[in-house]
């Protein structure tokens, strides 16, 4: 017997999830100033109580959709054999992903849809785990490494900041950030 917390591939639950994810994406793509559970439910063709029951509130839903849209579960950061190589490839992958027009619109819409500060950000936690993997691999090779927080604060956050605020973010920018964060390793 399947418990209510166990997800099943396919079925009504997956159809509702997919319809809700699509609705959120459409609303964000349209630049909707205020995304609400009733608006998402109407666009998805589901009852608002279904959305509230599964996600509780709009911030929780937006976080889940952000994680699904901006990261892929199980994604492993590159393993090139060096800290600089790993960080460079990883940063370039992220830049390539978040500068795609629909991703850029999504990020900006997600930020504008926020009503306040959140307790945690699953998307950020995914990046934290990837950063930790890169750092641990480099430590195992005997390299000097920055901290996970230094990688997040000095490499990943500036990329997202540039994209959200319409500033240039490309491979050259990512490479410069990698050099900056690697320089922190020697301190």
pLDDT category at 5 given cuts 50, 70, 90 is very low
Which residues does 152 contact at the CB level (< 8 Å), separation at least 6? 124, 127, 128, 131
Q: What is the pLDDT of residues 111-147, one digit of tens each?
A: 766 667 767 677 788 899 999 999 999 999 999 999 9
Which residues does 136 contact at the CB level (< 8 Å), separation at least 6? none
Q: What is the pLDDT of residues 51-110, one digit of tens each?
A: 999 999 887 888 778 777 666 656 789 999 999 999 999 999 999 988 988 778 777 767
Q: With both helix axes pointing from N to C terminus, report the angle between 37-44 and 58-70 in degrees, rounded to the nearest 10.
A: 60
User: What pLDDT sits at residue 83?
Assistant: 97
Domains and CATH numbers, the chain: 11-56 (1.10.10.60), 73-186 (1.10.357.10)
Coil, helix or strand at residue 146? coil
Average pLDDT over residues 166-187: 93
User: What pLDDT sits at residue 10?
Assistant: 56
Specify the pTM: 0.73
Q: Is the pLDDT of residue 9 over 70?
A: no
The DSSP H or E segment spanning 116 is: none
| Residues 177, 158 contacting (CB under 8 angstroms) | yes
Length, in residues, of the chain: 187
């Amino acid at each position: 017997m399947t418990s209510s917390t166990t997800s099943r591939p396919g079925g009504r639950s997956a159809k509702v999830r997919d319809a809700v994810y699509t609705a959120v994406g459409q609303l964000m793509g349209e630049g909707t100033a205020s995304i609400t559970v009733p608006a998402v439910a109407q666009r998805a063709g589901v009852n608002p109580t279904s959305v509230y029951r599964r996600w509780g509130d709009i911030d929780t839903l937006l976080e889940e959709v952000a994680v699904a849209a901006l990261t892929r579960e199980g994604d492993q950061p590159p393993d090139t054999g060096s800290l600089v190589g790993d960080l460079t490839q990883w940063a370039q992958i992220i830049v390539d992903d978040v500068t795609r027009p629909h991703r850029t619109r999504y990020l900006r819409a997600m930020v504008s849809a926020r009503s306040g500060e959140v307790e945690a950000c699953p998307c950020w936690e995914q990046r934290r785990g990837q950063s930790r993997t890169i750092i641990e691999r480099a430590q195992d090779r005997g390299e000097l490494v920055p901290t996970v927080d230094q990688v997040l604060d000095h490499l990943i956050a500036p990329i997202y900041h540039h994209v959200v605020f319409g500033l240039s973010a490309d491979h050259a920018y990512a490479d410069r950030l990698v050099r900056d964060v690697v320089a922190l390793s020697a301190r």
